[in-house]
Amino acid sequence: MILQKAGIKMNIYKSTKKIILNILHDNFKNLNKEIDIKITCEQPKKQKFGDVSTNVILVVSKMFNIEKKVLSEVLIKNILKNKIFKKVNYVDPGFLNINFSNPFWSDFFKKIYLNKLNYGFSNIGKNKKINIEFLSANPTGPLHIGHLRGAIFGDVLAKLLSKNGFNVTKEYYVNDLGVQVDNLAFTIDHHISNFTNKKDITLSEKMYKGEYLKKIAYDFFQNPPFDYKNFEKLKEYAVNSNMELIKKDLDSIGVSFNKYISEKNNHKMGLLQEVIEKLEKNNDIYFGSLEKPKSKNELGWKPIKQLLFRSSKYGDKSDRVVKKSNGDWTYFASDIAYHYNKVSRGYDEIINIWGADHAGYIDRVKASLNALGYQNTVFTVKLCQIVNLIDKKKVIKMSKRSGNFVLVSEILPKIGKDVLRFFMLTRKNDAHLDFDLEKCLNETNENPSFYVQYAYARISSLKKIAKQKNIKFDESHLPSIKKLVSNEELNIIREISLWPKIIESSVAFKEPHRIVYYLIELSGKFHAYWSLGKSNSNFKILSEDNSELTQARLLLLEMVQSVIRNGLEILTVSVKEKM
RNA sequence: GUCCUCGUAGCUCAGCUGGAUAGAGCAUCUGCCUUCUAAGCAGAGGGUCGCAAGUUCGAAUCUUGCCGAGGACGCCA
């Protein structure tokens, strides 16, 4: 294969870059090999600029003060020595536009065909251990729409990373401690009392609304496992019951976790004391009062002496309270302990997925890790912006107070897991997302998951017909690929050649939405190609009079399918053989 | 007041770690089903990339300032 000889790997743009850099070093011996030469090799938007475009002349002539003319002559001559290239053009102000040769494309195609199950994925992670914590919804009720984005984003990011050689742990932090759990148990207790005394006393202000709690209480009442006046046990019971509801919802949207970490358990192990002591030793904990925050007016604020963490020393804007004036630890204190625990379990990177309203929290957690001596662990936070639920062109307001939440279990049966997941990923995580119910129910281009699945299903139907007609297109027919010379077909191959790059950047930026957009793009190229055969019989995929071309085309579509399958697998969206 | 995120076509949004004439869907208009799935395709119109400077051969992309939207800002979790 000419590819191996030429040093071409799956990402042909990266490989081309390497080839060019080697030519530079071979021909300009005085270039310092240590210096990073930052050139780009990309597929240009316009096809007329070639298959790969590089700014090498521009960059190198400036960096090393070499004349553009000399550079381009040497580069063009040497690039063309390599049989995988067909054409190189110099364009002002210093680009080289390069075309691959036809044998290259068919060889490249052959290579990815033989690798199709893994095509695009790499071992970039080198088995690095990553902990990704997401969702961590409070165990006070089932999941609602507001939870969905973080849950799906986290799940997909984890899948993306693990498919690329990272050793990923998906973690759920259960806040089974504190005021909210007390209130939860009070609510259950209240309901059980009502059942027991056959009364219907209304809930107090603090208690949680929601029929599901009544049901939990009723189940308890019918078959009590212990005396409900045992408050500690009742709290545990309440948390467990709600976690069961949450797990059921998670299961229904295809999200799973490897680990559930209990806050209460962390406390039992004495983590909090351990961490505070460590910080105290470094003089990072002190007793004092904070400056008045800007948000408060003069009247509403009094300085109070309390236990503080010196987080401003580590890049935070202000020091932070770890112990309330009533003697309770703050949530932040507990979180320091939790993150300390996470890091000490030996991860190379900790990823947290939070709602955008927690942005202000990042610096203090970072500060605490630095103070504890973990500057080497990468700590990343990905923020998810709010999702607006839209129905019939109107935003549906949800509020915690009124208990007015649209539950996952209400909405899922209508639209299904696949559409839900796909839709939630059609935006960058830090951009607002309008979750439009009408669009989800649409069976048109407005609903991109159908568009992609439809492309897959169309190919499946072709394969079925080919089978009936006894047209074979297995590995032994790979040589027929050289028949794919039309612009339309090379266009699809070019699009397929971008796949590894898309994965790479999705991993690098931790942005799964890039995959979604790519799949839509690829599907679009396929649909266009398919429709070509409608008006021009030369482009009918199953042409009976030219079996070799037919086989080549079927192999091409097989590749389109496997890229779509690989992509949807990351998203955990199913493929459909028939629609 | 300080900090964070965002501002791209009438609407909803992409824009590949600075590249060439800024892209898609919806909506509007025009075509395409006797033949491989029309849940589709082809074409047209529609943009001072919030505004203004700066860096650069080159800026939607980087920097600064302003305008606008959303969010965060001591003992909530």
Cα-based distances in Å from A416 to A97, A253, A408, A411, A444 = 46, 8, 11, 8, 16
Query: What pLDDT sits at residue A297?
Result: 65
Residue A322 falls inside a structural domain: no
Taking the C-alpha atoms of residue A500 and residue A122, their distance in angstroms, rounded to an integer, is 8
Which stretch of DSSP H or E encloses residue A425? none
Gap from A419 CA to B50 C1', Å: 34
Asked if residue A452 and residue A430 are part of one domain, the reply reads no
Whether A73 and A204 share a structural domain: no
Q: Is residue A308 part of a domain?
A: no
Q: Which of A100, A116, A142 is the C-terminal boundary of a domain?
A: A100
| Same domain for A163 and A91 | no
Integer angstrom CA distances of residue A390 from A147, A411, A436, A485 = 16, 12, 5, 47
Which helix (H) or strand (E) covers residue A113, if one does? Answer: helix A102-114
Residues A305, A290: Cα–Cα separation, whole Å? 8
Within a 13 Å sphere around the CA of A401, how many CA atoms are in the beta-carbon half? Answer: 1
Among residues A418, A441, A464, the one where a domain terminates is: A441
Q: Which of residues 297-316 of A touch strand B (CB under 7 A)?
A: 300-304, 306
**CA dist list (Å): A479 to A109, A167, A186, A250, A496:** 10, 38, 73, 47, 19
pLDDT at A9: 80
Contacts for A230 with CB less than 8 Å, ≥ 6 apart: none
- Here the CATH number for the domain that contains residue A246 is 3.40.50.620
Instruction: Please report whether residue A192 resides in a domain.
Output: yes
Q: Specify if A505 maps to a domain.
A: yes
* A464, part of any domain: yes
Which residues of chain A fall below pLDDT 50? none
d(CA A550, CA A418): 32
Residue A349 lies in a domain: no
Structural domain ending residue among the three candidates A400, A418, A441: A441
Residues 196-255 of A with CB under 7 A from strand B: none
In a domain, A338, yes or no: no
Distance of CA A20 to the CA centre of its chain: 33
Residue A84 covered by a domain: yes
Q: Are residues A478 and A527 in the same domain?
A: yes
A456 & A437 share domain: no
The count of domains in chain A is 3
Domain identity same for A436 and A460: no
Domain extent, residue A455, equals 448-571
Positions in chain B where some atom is under 7 Å from a protein CB:
1-6, 12-17, 19-26, 32, 35-42, 57, 70-77
CA angle A62–A64–A67, rounded 5-degree value: 65
Q: Are residues A191 and A238 in the same domain?
A: yes
Backbone phi and psi for residue A430, each to the nearest 5 degrees, phi listed first: -95, 15
Q: Does A394 contact strand B, using a CB cutoff of 7 Å?
A: no
Query: Is the minimum distance from the CB of A460 to strand B below 7 Å?
Result: yes
Give alpha helix (H) positions in A470-512.
Answer: 487-497, 499-509
The answer on A556 and A502 residing in a single domain is yes
Q: Give the CATH number of the domain where residue A25 resides.
A: 3.30.1360.70
pLDDT at residue number A402: 57
Residue A281 pLDDT: 94
- Per the structure, the residues numbered 8 to 37 in protein chain A that have their CB within 7 angstroms of any atom of strand B are none
Where do we find the tokens 């049966």? A413
Full-prediction pTM beyond 0.90? yes
- Who contacts A30 (Cβ-Cβ below 8 Å, separation ≥6)? none
Any strand B atom closer than 7 Å to A546 CB:
no
CATH code, domain with A470: 1.10.730.10
Residues of A 356-375 whose CB lies less than 7 Å from any atom of strand B: 356-361
Report whether the peptide linkage leading into residue A93 is cis, meaning its omega lies within 30 degrees of zero: yes
- Asked if A150 and A258 sit in the same domain, the reply is yes
Q: Which of A326, A292, A332 is nearest to A308 (CA)?
A: A332
pLDDT at residue A1, rounded to an integer: 65
Which nucleotide is the nearest neighbour of A326, by CA and C1'? B75
Quick one: A251 and A171 in the same domain? Answer: yes
Å between CA of A293 and C1' of B53: 34
Q: Is A565 exposed, middle or buried (0-12, 13-18, 19+ CB in 10 A)?
A: middle
| A471 Cβ nearer than 7 Å to chain B strand | no
Spanning CA of A195 to C1' of B9, the rounded length in angstroms is: 61
pLDDT for the residue numbered A298 = 62
Strand B near-CB residues (< 7 Å), A 120-159: 138
* Strand B-contacting residues in A 426-455, CB cut-off 7 angstroms: 426-428, 430-434, 443-446, 450-451, 454
ipTM for this model: 0.95
A453 and A555 co-located in one domain = yes
Residues A155 and A241 placed together within one structural domain of the fold = yes
